[in-house]
Amino acid sequence: MSEDLLIVGGGAIGCAIAWEMAGEGWKVRLLDRQKPGAEASWAAAGMLSPSAEAPHLPPLVPLARAALDLYPGFVEQLESIAGIHTDFERQGSLVVFFGGRANHTQGEFLAALARAGLDGEPLTGEEARRREPSLNPEVAAAVWFAEEASVDPRALGRALRAAAERRGVAIEAGAEVFRALIERGRCRGVATAAGEISAARVVIAAGCYSAAIEGVARYAPTRPVRGQMAALDGGAARPRTMIRSERGYLVPRPDGRVFAGSTLENAGFDKSVTAGGLRKILNGAAEIAPSLENAVILETWAGLRPDSPDHLPILGPTEIENLSIATGHYRDGILLAPITARLARAWLLGQPPEVSLDPFSPFRFASPAP
Ligand code: GLY
């Protein structure tokens, strides 16, 4: 029997949509090219920070704010269904500035945020250190975001898969989709190595691999952007808030680890951790919080962010009937998972979206279908 909905991609986005639509009573099947949740969602730092991209990507702000507002209810429901704790924590974040131009850079940052519709609390270096004693004494100015939060992305992925399965979603690993089956302007399913799979609706949520699916690239010309990460044993003097600087960021986890990130690299689909990448991350980490110079390195890894040509997500129906896209979340897939699921529900049920989809239209890169 054909599914109501076939989702291609088992990361946070695909699983959140699957969970949402199974909650509507839809029969949902989810395919992942390898192990669900083992790509960008697994590699993420888990920062839920609308301010992080706001200065460069203002259209993202309404989406990011709506996502952060949804998060407490989203994880509460998820955790109660899945029985898995996701370590959601609203520890707040600091953006810190160094050097003689720190006040000027702080002012520019606040102005860019205001233009994007966000605000933060300006702090002197001393005020920032009172809030976060691990900070480098050379931090000369900062901005504080009390509402920002973090989650354990790997736990979130496990919880999403478990919750989706509890609602009857069939999740399949090792099912690589090569092509969307399109006939006379209508999508009737997908082609995999194991054969064709029919579905009434298809949503592509395959992250940076979306563009490799025939029939999809014109809407989702995604590309991978590598991010390397390190988990450090922060010790007693570790940071308690998230901290970002021009050279990196730190995300403290409740278990005492501190995630340090990251690089932005065009390395194709290569997920290697490199000496240069680690050096950059560790220098950035120790500059923010000098005690981390002595931290033990617990783990290093790299992931591939799903970038789009304008760095904004690609969300919504295409002009191919029954084919829609939810990818290109770039640096914010974990943050945007709950709002993406809600928006997908709206477009799949033919309801108005709660946040305008216009800036994220799958048509913005495509010439009309032949
Ligand atoms: N969102 C953090 C990163 O992309 O590195």
For residue 283, the tally of other CB atoms under 10 A from its CB is: 14
- What's residue 3's pLDDT? 76
Q: Kindly state the average pLDDT of the residues 281-291.
A: 98
For the CA of 264, the closest atom of ligand 1 is 5
- What's residue 366's pLDDT? 77
Centre of ligand 1 to C-alpha 44, Å, is 7
Q: How many Å apart are CA 241 and CA 244, to the nearest integer?
A: 10
> What tens digit of pLDDT does each residue of 318-369 get?
999 999 999 999 999 999 999 999 999 999 999 999 999 999 999 999 765 5
123 pLDDT above the threshold of 90: yes
- What's residue 33's pLDDT? 96
Helix/strand/coil percentages in the chain, nearest 5: 35, 30, 40
Q: Kindly state the average pLDDT of the residues 208-223.
A: 96
Centre of ligand 1 to C-alpha 331, Å, is 4
For the CA of 229, the closest atom of ligand 1 is 5
Q: How many Å apart are CA 262 and CA 229, to the nearest integer?
A: 5
The residue that leads in pLDDT, 323 or 193, is 323
> Could you write out the three-class secondary structure of 286-321?
HHHCHHHHHCEEEEEEEEEEEECCCCCCEEEECCCE
Q: What percent of the chain has pLDDT over 90?
A: 96
Would you place residue 370 in the very low, low, confident or very high pLDDT band (cuts 50, 70, 90)? low
Q: Kindly state the average pLDDT of the residues 76-94.
A: 97
Q: Homologous superfamily of 93-148+224-306 in CATH?
A: D-Amino Acid Oxidase, subunit A, domain 2 (3.30.9.10)
DSSP state of 367: P
Q: Kindly state the average pLDDT of the residues 120-135.
A: 98
Domain boundaries, the chain: 5-83+153-222+309-364, 93-148+224-306
- What's residue 369's pLDDT? 55
Q: Is the CB of 262 under 6 A from ligand 1?
A: yes
CATH architecture for the domain at 5-83+153-222+309-364? 3-Layer(bba) Sandwich (3.50)
Whose structure tokens read 């520890």? 91
Long-range contacts (CB closer than 8 Å, 24 or more residues apart) made by 253-256: 253/87, 253/150, 253/152, 254/87, 254/89, 255/87
Q: Is the CB of 305 under 6 A from ligand 1?
A: yes
Closest protein CA for atom 4 of ligand 1 = 331
Q: Is the CB of 47 under 6 A from ligand 1?
A: yes
78 pLDDT above the threshold of 70: yes
> What tens digit of pLDDT does each residue of 224-268 get?
999 999 999 988 989 999 999 999 999 999 999 999 999 999 999
90 pLDDT above the threshold of 60: yes
Q: Kindly state the average pLDDT of the residues 60-69.
A: 97
1 pLDDT above the threshold of 70: no
Q: Which two three-digit tokens encode residue 123?
A: 């702090």
